[in-house]
Chain A
Amino acid sequence: NAGVTQTPKFQVLKTGQSMTLQCAQDMNHEYMSWYRQDPGMGLRLIHYSVGAGITDQGEVPNGYNVSRSTTEDFPLRLLSAAPSQTSVYFCASSYTPGTGGEQFFGPGTRLTVL
């Protein structure tokens, strides 16, 4: 199993550009989520999904869109990049949120917006 994979590993954007961060998992996990990590801010939840076709907002959803058309994939779209979105983005998955359980994290995408 590859676990949770994220692409790209690094990305530089100009203000106003759009892009999609890819996340995929091969563990048949129902629950997937996106976090951003900034120095001193810990991990902040952007969006999450409890299954295909179901998504919901987390703590900091503005400027980001998600969709979940399959169990495996959970892409994060930046609609119009801003310097404030410079961050490290992590995708995570787990079996079901209701029972807690281990969150498996991808290796992260380091995004810089100029």
Chain B
Amino acid sequence: GQQVMQIPQYQHVQEGEDFTTYCNSSTTLSNIQWYKQRPGGHPVFLIQLVKSGEVKKQKRLTFQFGEAKKNSSLHITATQTTDVGTYFCAGFKAGNNRKLIWGLGTSLAVNP
């Protein structure tokens, strides 16, 4: 079963509001990846974090990897309608780099 919990499952915001989704793993991860899936589309890679405590930014998106490498977050500042979609985290368990473990995703809806 799923070993990476992702919350919230759904989030509905007004355009311009901020948005955050969180991932928590029961085991230590060697890395964490984030993907975005638009409605009707396929997952598209956003970023990978590898180091403990790592923070990366992509324009309005900020990604963090926890110190213990068991949790991660994606924060979007000032959401836009183009941010609509489902955001997934995924990671490889430390010592097992063959099976990517996925969170269930957070679906983001943005009201214009």
Contacts and interface: CB of A to CB of B under 8 A. Distances in A.
Interface string A38-58: 001111110010100000101
A106 interface: yes
A42 B102 contact: yes
Contacts of B102: 42-45
Given A42-B102, A58-B99, A101-B48, A106 B42 contact: yes
Interface string A11-55: 000000000000000000000010000001111110010100000
A98 B97 contact: yes
Contact of A103 (B30, B100, B103): B100
Interface residues of B, number: 23
Contacts, number: 57
Q: Which of B44, B98, B104 has the most CB of A within 10 A?
A: B98
A90 interface: yes
Name B's interface SS: strand
A90 B100 CA distance: 14
Q: Which of B2, B41, B92, B97 has the most CB of A within 10 A?
A: B97
B42 A42 contact: no
B43 A97 contact: no
A100 B33 CA distance: 9
Interface of A: 33, 40-45, 48, 50, 56, 58-59, 90, 92, 97-108
8 contacts: A42-B88, A90-B42, A90-B43, A97-B100, A102-B45, A103-B45, A106-B42, A107-B41
Interface of B: 2, 30-31, 33, 35, 41-45, 48, 50, 88, 90, 92, 97-100, 102-105
The 7 A-B residue pairs with the shortest CB-CB distance in the complex, in nearest-first order: A42-B104, A102-B45, A105-B42, A100-B31, A98-B97, A43-B102, A97-B97
